[in-house]
Chains A and B, each alone.
Chain A
Amino acid sequence: MYKYTDFDRQFVHQRAAQYRDQLERNLSGQLSDDDFRPLRLQNGWYVQRYAPMLRVAVPYGELASRQLRVLARIAREFDQPSAQVYETATTTQAALGTLHLPTGYGHFTTRHNVQFNWIPLDKSADVMELLASVDMHGIQTSGNCIRNITSDALAGVAVDEDIDPRPYCEIMRQWSTLHPEFAFLPRKFKIAVSGAREDRAATAWHDIGLHLLRNADGQIGFKVQVGGGMGRTPVIASTIRSFLPWNEILNFLEAVVRVYNRWGRRDNMYKARIKILVKAEGQRFIDEVEAEYQDILTHDGAPHTIPQSELDRISASFRPPALVQQTQAAIHQIAPDLSDKDANDYQRWLKQNVAPHKDPDLRAVTLSFKRLGQAPGDASADQLDAAADLADRFSAGEVRVTHQQNLLLPWVRADQLPALWQAARQAGLAKANIGLLTDMIACPGGDLCALANARSIPVAAAITERFQDLDELFDLGQIDLHISGCMNSCGHHHSGHIGILGVDKDGREWYQVSLGGSDGSTLSGAAVPGKVIGPSFAASEVTDVIEALLDTYRLQRLAGERFIATVRRLGLDPFRQAANQVRSETGNTGKELHIHLATADALTD
C-alpha cells in the first residue's frame, strides 16, 4: 500500500494543526458556527442528531494494521459521549423503539471510510492529531468538494484485473487534496476507479467513474463516465471519453470540475450535482469540457500531465508485499481436522468469503461485519483490534474496507486459510454470508443521522434475524439488499436488487421498497435504479415484505436462476402482488395507501 513520504506526513500534521486553530477559534467565539461549519466538514466533522460524527478517509479502501489499531483506540477512548448527551439520545430514540445505542465503535461506509458517532467536538482536534500520527486524516470526507476516491476492494489482487488502479487513485488523491480552486463546488463530487473486467466500484453511479483499459495499441488509458449519482434523482453516468491517455487524467479532471464549478446549479441544492448539469446540457456539456481540456493542454501548458517517473515512484508503493512473495509454489488445500458441522461451515466460508487471487498461492478473504447484534458495517474497538491482529498474522498487515461495508484481507496464503478461518471465527468475523441476502448495505439511519427520515438499523436487524439459516441464505443465493434511511441514498437503495428507502409521514416511519436495481456488476447487469413496487410499507411490514418477495422468487425461479434474473424475467407484478398480501397495517384502509403513494411520488421527482 501507499507509503507516506516526509512531505505527506508533514502535510497531514499541518492540516491537523490548522484544524486545531479553527476549532479553538470556534470554541472561543471568534469563528462563528456558520463560518466554522464548512471548515469542519472538509475535515470530516458533521454535527449529527445527538453528537458530532467523524468520517475518517480511507483512500481507495487500503488500511494498515497500525492504522486499524489507532481507529480501535479512537473508538475506545474517544467515541464516548458525555452522560448527558447519551441520556438525551437514548431517551429520544427509545420513544421510537430503539432500545440500545452502542458507543465505542467504528462504522465502515460504502465509500471505504470509517465513521465514529459519539466523539465530543472539543476533542476533535486531538483525534485529528492522533490520525495524523498514522498517516490518516479526514480531509474532504465531507463538504462540497472532491471526496475520497473509491475503487475496487480487490484492486491489485483480482484475477480479472488488467491494470491495478491504486497508483492512479493515489495520484488523483494527491491532486484533489486541498485543491485551491475546487474546495467550494456547487455540491459534493465523488470519483470511483476500476481496473478490472468486473465493476466492483459502482463507477456508473459516481460523479466521475473511471475504467482503466488498453487501446488497440496496448496503451493504458481511461474510459471516462460523468454524471452518475443517486439521491432524489438517480442517474447513470454518461461516457464522455472512451479512451483518455492515463497521463492526461488530471488535466481532464480539471476540465470537468472547472466546467462544473462554473455551470453547476447553486440555486437549488437538489439540482446541484453534476448529474443534473450533464442531463440538462448533454452534448453542450461534453463540448465545453473538451474545449476546456484543449485550453488546459495548449494555453496552460498541460501542467498536470503525469510524468512516467511519477507513476513509477507511486507504483513502487504498490508492489505485492515481500513476505508474500516467499510463499512456496506448491500449496495444498489442507483440510483441517474438523467435526462434520465445522467442516460444512468451513466449506461454506471457503465458497462464500474467499476469493481467488492474481497470485495462485494467495487468496483474498472477506471478514463479515454482517451479523446479529451489530449494525451492518459496525466494528467495536475490540473487533477493530482483532481485525488488525488477523491482518498481521495472515495478510502482510493490510486490510481493505469494502464497498459492502466489510473488511477484506488481500494477501492470505492458501495454506493458512484453515488457521485464518479458526481465528476469524473466534473473533466473530467468519460468518459465511458474503454476497448473500444478509450481507446487506445499510446507512446509520435515523438512530444517528440528522438527515434521515427513518431508521435503517432496526430494519436491517429484523431482516438479519429472520434470515439466520445459512442453508436458506445459500439457497436464496446472491442478492444485493440495500437500505437507506432517506433520499440521500447513503445505503445505495437505488442499486439494490431489493432496495429499501425510509420516508416519514405524519411523524411515523415508512419504507418504500424497490426491485431490480443494479450497481453495474456482471450479475446485476448494466447499472440501473430499481423500480418502486408500490406505496410505502409500515415498519412492522418490511420483513414480511422481504420474505414475500423471496418466496415469490423461490416459487417462480428457473433452475439455477438468480434472484435478479427472475425479477428481470417476470417483471414487478408477481412481486408486487405478493408484497401487497402482507400489508397487515397499510392494507386496512384504502385511504392510507393513497397517502403513501403521494409521498412516494413527491420524494422521487
Chain B
Amino acid sequence: MQNTLKLIASNAYSTGATGLNVINLANDADPRTLALAGVDRIELNFPKFTDGRAFSQAFLLRRRLGFKGEIHATGDVLIDQLLQMQRSGFDAAVLRADQDIKQAQRQLDRFSGFYQGDAQRAPLFAAATGVSASVKNTEGVAA
C-alpha cells in the first residue's frame, strides 16, 4: 500500500496562527453542513482513540464531498490507528505525546492490500475484475 499519511509529533504541531483557513470540527458534527470553499485544513478530533466517529467524518469529507484540502487527526491519536486514518481519508496525524514516531512508520507498511474499498482505493474485487483500482475523485489526497 502506498503511504500518504504525514506523521506529526505532538510537540511539532503548531496550533497557533498559521495563516491557513483551518476548521476544527467536533466529532459529533456533520461535515456535510460545512462550507468547504477556501478551507485549507480540517482537524478531526479523537477524544478517545476508541471513538470512531472521526473515521466516518474523514471518509465523507474526502470521498463524498471531494474535499481537496488537508484532513488532520488530532487528540488521542495512537500509532496503531494510523493505517485506518490513512484509509479513511486523513492525510496527516498528530500523534499523542507519548507515541513513538519511530515505531509509527512500520505500522503503515503491514498489509499488502485490503478487501474493501476506502477513501483511497476501490474494493479488491473491482481491481480483480479489471476496474481501475484507484478511486477517481480522491486525487485531492495530499502526498
Bound: A30/B107 CA distance, A: 14
Closest to B60 in A: A258
Complex interface: chain A residues within 8 A of B13 (CB):
none
* B50 touching A7, Cβ below 8 Å: no
Task: Please choose the segment from A10-18, A79-87, A321-329, A349-357 that sits at the chain B interface, where 4 or more of its residues have CB less than 8 A away.
Answer: A10-18
B140 within 8 A of A: no
Q: Please report the C-alpha to C-alpha distance between residue A406 and residue B118 in the assembled complex, in whole angstroms.
A: 38
A184 closest partner in B (C-beta): B52
Min CB distance A374 to B, Å, is 37
> In the complex, what's the smallest C-beta–C-beta distance from A288 to chain B, in angstroms?
11
Most B-side CB within 10 Å, residue of A14, A25, A35, A306: A35
CA distance A11 to B112 in the complex (A): 8
Asked if A183 is at the interface (CB within 8 A of a chain B CB), the reply is yes
Q: Does A182 contact B (CB under 8 A)?
A: yes
* B117 contacts A304, C-beta separation under 8 Å: yes
Residues of B within 8 A of A14 (CB): 110-112
**Once the chains bind, are A179 and B112 in contact (CB under 8 Å)?**
no
Provide the A562-576 mask, 1 if CB < 8 A to any CB of B, else 0: 000000000000000
Given contacts A14-B110, A35-B80, A304-B123, contact A30 B100 (CB under 8 A): yes
Say whether A300 contacts B63, CB under 8 Å: yes
Shortest CB–CB separation between residue B2 and chain A, in angstroms?
15
Determine if B125 and A307 form an interchain contact, defined as CB atoms under 8 angstroms apart: yes
Stretch at the interface among B17-25, B35-43, B81-89: B81-89
Mark contacts of A1-28 with chain B using CB atoms, 8 A cut-off: 1 yes-contact digit, 0 otherwise: 0000001001100110110011001000
User: Within 8 Å CB of A245, what residues of B?
Assistant: none
B135 lies within 8 A of chain A by Cβ: yes
CB distance B56 to A258 under 8 Å?
yes
A297-312 toward B: CB 8 Å interface, digit per residue (1/0)?
A: 0011101101101100
Whether B83 and A180, one on each chain, are in contact in the complex, defined by CB atoms closer than 8 angstroms, is yes
Q: How far apart are the CA atoms of A11 and B80 in the complex, in Å?
A: 17
User: Chain B contacts of A468 at CB under 8 A?
Assistant: none
A residues in contact with B128, CB < 8 Å = 310, 313
Residues of A near B50 (CB, < 8 A) are 38, 144, 184
Contacting B at CB under 8 A, from A255-284, are 258, 261-262, 266
Tell whether A88 is near chain B: CB-to-CB under 8 Å: no
A39 within 8 A of B: yes
Contact assessment for A183 and B84 in the assembled complex, using a CB-CB cutoff below 8 Å: yes
A261 pairs with B53, CB closer than 8 A: yes
Chain A positions within 8 Å of B129 at CB level: 307, 309-310
A262 lies within 8 A of B111 (CB): no
> With A303-B135, A310-B125 as given contacts, are A177 and B115 in contact (CB-CB < 8 Å)?
yes
Determine how close the nearest CB of chain A comes to the CB of B23; give it in whole angstroms. 18
Task: Give A31 to B118 CA distance when docked, in angstroms.
Answer: 28
Which residue from chain B places its CB closest to the CB of A173 in the assembled complex? B115
Residues of A within 8 A of B122 (CB): 303
Q: Check if B55 is an interface residue, CB within 8 A of chain A.
A: yes
Give the docked Cα–Cα distance between A15 and B83 (Å): 13
Instruction: Name the B residues within 8 Å of A287 (CB-CB).
Output: none
Judged by DSSP, the binding face of A is helix
Question: In the complex, are the beta carbons of A180 and B84 less than 8 A apart?
Answer: yes
By a CB distance below 8 angstroms, the chain B residues around A10 are 112
The range of chain A's interface size is 35 or more
The total of chain B residues at the interface (CB under 8 A) is 41
Which residues of B (67-117) have their CB < 8 Å from a CB of A?
Answer: 78, 80, 83-85, 87-88, 100, 103, 106-107, 110-117
Q: Does A175 contact B (CB under 8 A)?
A: yes
A178 contacts the other chain (Cβ, under 8 Å)? yes
> For A301, what are the chain B residues with a Cβ–Cβ distance below 8 Å?
136
Q: Do A299 and B64 touch across chains, with their CB atoms under 8 A apart? A: yes
Q: Is the CB of B56 within 8 A of A300?
A: no
Q: Are B126 and A262 in contact (CB under 8 A)?
A: no
Question: CB within 8 A of B55: which of A11, A35, A180?
Answer: A180
Distance between Cα atoms of A310 and B124 in the complex (Å): 10
Partner of A7, one of B64, B118, B124: B124
- The reply on A581 being an interface residue by CB < 8 A is no
* CA A262 to CA B52, docked complex, whole Å: 9
A295 at the B interface (CB under 8 A): yes
> Would B88 and A184 count as touching, CB distance under 8 A?
no
Residue of chain B at shortest CB distance from A17: B110
Q: How far is the CA of A472 from the CA of B87 in the complex (A)?
A: 59
In the complex, chain A residues whose CB is within 8 Å of the CB of B80? 22, 31, 35, 39
- Is A396 an interface residue, CB under 8 A from the partner? no
Compute how far the CA of A39 lies from the CA of B79 in the bound complex, rounded to whole angstroms.
12
Q: CA A262 – CA B124 in complex, angstroms?
A: 26
Inter-chain CA distance A295–B50, complex, in Å, is 27
How many Å lie between the Cα of A300 and that of B66 in the bound state? 10
B112–A300 touching, CB < 8 Å? no
Q: Is the CB of A262 within 8 A of B116?
A: no
A14-B112, A181-B88 are known contacts. Are A262 and B117 too (CB-CB below 8 A)? Answer: no
Give B109 Cβ to nearest chain A Cβ, in Å.
10
**Distance A574 CA – B117 CA, assembled complex (angstroms):** 57
Taking a contact as CB atoms under 8 Å apart, the answer to whether A184 and B87 are in contact is: no
Interface check A174, CB cutoff 8 A: yes
* A185 interface residue (CB < 8 Å to B): yes
B56 touches A262 (CB 8 A): yes
CB atoms of A11 and B125 under 8 A apart: no
From B63, which residue of chain A is reached at the shortest CB distance? A300
Give the chain A neighbours of B59 by CB distance below 8 A: 181
User: Which partner residue on chain B sits nearest A11 by CB separation?
Assistant: B111
- C-alpha spacing A68/B123, complex, angstroms: 31
In the complex, which residue of chain B has the Cβ closest to the Cβ of A38?
A: B50
Q: Mark B residues whose CB is within 8 Å of A.
A: 28, 30, 49-53, 55-56, 59, 63-64, 78, 80, 83-85, 87-88, 100, 103, 106-107, 110-118, 122-126, 128-129, 135-136
Closest 9 CB pairs of A and B: A184-B52, A180-B87, A174-B115, A310-B125, A180-B84, A181-B55, A303-B117, A18-B110, A175-B116
Q: Can you list 30 A-B pairs with a CB-CB distance of less than 8 A?
A: A10-B112, A11-B112, A11-B115, A18-B110, A25-B103, A30-B103, A38-B49, A38-B50, A39-B80, A174-B116, A178-B111, A179-B116, A180-B88, A181-B56, A181-B88, A182-B52, A182-B55, A183-B52, A184-B50, A184-B55, A185-B52, A261-B52, A261-B53, A261-B56, A299-B64, A300-B63, A301-B136, A303-B126, A307-B125, A309-B129
List A residues at the B interface (Cβ < 8 Å).
7, 10-11, 14-15, 17-18, 21-22, 25, 30-31, 35, 38-39, 144, 174-185, 250, 258, 261-262, 266, 295, 299-301, 303-304, 306-307, 309-310, 313
List 11 other contacts, CB 8 Å, given A7-B124, A31-B80: A11-B115, A21-B106, A35-B80, A179-B116, A180-B84, A180-B114, A183-B55, A184-B51, A185-B52, A261-B53, A304-B116
